[in-house]
Amino acid sequence: MDSADLDELEEDSVSQREISADLISQWEAELLQEKLQELLHAIDDTKMQVRRCSCALAPIDILHIKKRSHDFNTLLFSSSGH
């Protein structure tokens, strides 16, 4: 094997490492893109659940709850002699 053959082998080796590095970078980018999509879908699902909960809670009359609480406190403190 002469020096020209060694040079060619070295060039092939460098070329293979560059190709491997490019493939790894591409794979990493695709994996990150996939994970990002999963997170975005999870965020959308969470938003939908929050909206459903908000809609379910919307009919509750907060003023009615406060009045009942006030009535209960009045009853509690008036019966204890305060």
Contacts of residue 54, defined as CB under 8 A and 6 or more positions apart, other chains included, come to: none
pLDDT for the residue 19: 77
How far is C-alpha 66 from the chain's CA centre?
36
- Reported confidence tier of residue 41, pLDDT bands at 50, 70, 90: very high
Is residue 22 pLDDT above 90, yes or no?
no
- What token pair was written down for 37? 């999509």
**What pLDDT was estimated at residue 58?**
57
> Is pLDDT at 62 greater than 90 in this prediction?
no
pLDDT at 34: 94
pLDDT band at residue 16, thresholds of 50, 70 and 90?
A: confident
